[in-house]
Amino acid sequence: MLGQLGDLDDAASLDEQSPTPLYLQLQRLIQESVRAGRLEPDEALPSERDLARQLGISRVTVRKALAGLVEKGILVQRWGSGTFIAPSMHVEQALSRLSSFTDDMIARGMTPGTEIIESAVGASNPTESMALGLSPGEPVSRLQRLRLAGGVPMAIEHAVVPARFLPDPESVLSSLYAVLSARGHMPRRALQRLHAVLVNGDQAKLLKVPAASPALYIERRSFLENGEPIEFTSSYYRGDAYDFVAELSIGQADR
Ligand code: 16G
């Protein structure tokens, strides 16, 4: 099995003289192999003992390295059967369809999860009033959530909804769109813009990625059938987990 692990069976890749602790070097080696596709989702890692022997390091060091990667969601430990590369969490989302996180994950056979970080009603700030077409200070419900797929953090979302459509943000326990839809306020159209960013320390902790990892910052403004703004959401999506795909066709004017 070690033969399939590419760099991992190259003991020379770990440098005992380096100021970087060996467990961190091993973590980087495994992460790099996952990124490069040398280690595939669901692939089993050799046992701690085999890894230690092969790399010429102690089992304690191997255990520490693996535990750190389990913590980050890169490896999973299955009792009785060993340590595996985490299942693929790569998601492609069509940019042309208005869908909710919950529906997107279910459509891909993943179990959506939500951890509420904060939910509160307050006076809209100038950015929120502008985005939602509200009078300055008009009340808004704010909802900050960590979104997960199969228990793995995928995105941090900060949604702002005019309080007249959602007076009780604490009623949203999982899907925002399900709650809005049940109240007859389902978004029908949205404008979205996105750009690349690096996550800050707090975001990295929540998303369980190394500090300063790449992410996609996405802003969505959605509207009701009658054109009224219903949602202004800013999200940080893990850059390694998401592809946004757009279908393009030649417009009338170009033909
Ligand atoms: C998506 C939307 C977000 C919306 C959420 C509702 C993007 C970039 N963002 O994550 O704006 O609030 O879905 O999902 O697609 P929910 O109904 O599962 O809460």
Atom of ligand 1 nearest to the CA of 192: 8
Q: Per DSSP, what are the bridge partners of residue 242? A: 91
Q: Say what the pLDDT of residue 73 is.
A: 75
Instruction: Report residues whose beta carbon is within 6 angstroms of any ligand 1 atom.
Output: 100-102, 157, 159, 175-178, 218, 220, 231, 233, 235
Distance 253 CA to ligand 1 centre (A): 32
**Residue-wise pLDDT tens for the chain (255 aa)?**
333 354 455 545 788 888 999 999 999 898 888 877 788 888 899 999 999 999 899 999 999 999 988 887 788 888 888 899 887 766 677 677 788 999 988 887 889 999 999 999 999 999 999 999 999 999 999 999 999 998 889 999 999 999 999 999 999 999 999 999 999 999 999 999 999 999 999 999 999 988 999 999 999 999 999 999 999 999 999 988 777 776 777 876 655
Distance 190 CA to ligand 1 centre (A): 11
* Helix, strand, coil tally for the chain in percent (to 5): 30, 30, 35
Sign of the alpha-carbon dihedral angle for 108, 145, 233, 178: positive
Residue the block writes with tokens 């960590």: 146
Structure tokens at 102: 């919950």
Distance 230 CA to ligand 1 centre (A): 12
Q: Whose CA is nearest to atom 13 of ligand 1?
A: 100
Most distant CA pair in the chain, distance: 67
CB 83 within 8 A of CB 39: no
Distance 147 CA to ligand 1 centre (A): 9
User: What separation, in Å, do the N-terminal and C-terminal C-alpha atoms of the chain show?
Assistant: 56
Atom of ligand 1 nearest to the CA of 178: 17
Atom of ligand 1 nearest to the CA of 179: 17
Cα gap 131→82, rounded to integer Å: 49
Distance 98 CA to ligand 1 centre (A): 9
Distance 1 CA to ligand 1 centre (A): 41
Closest CA to 153 of 184, 179, 115: 115
Cα gap 62→250, rounded to integer Å: 54
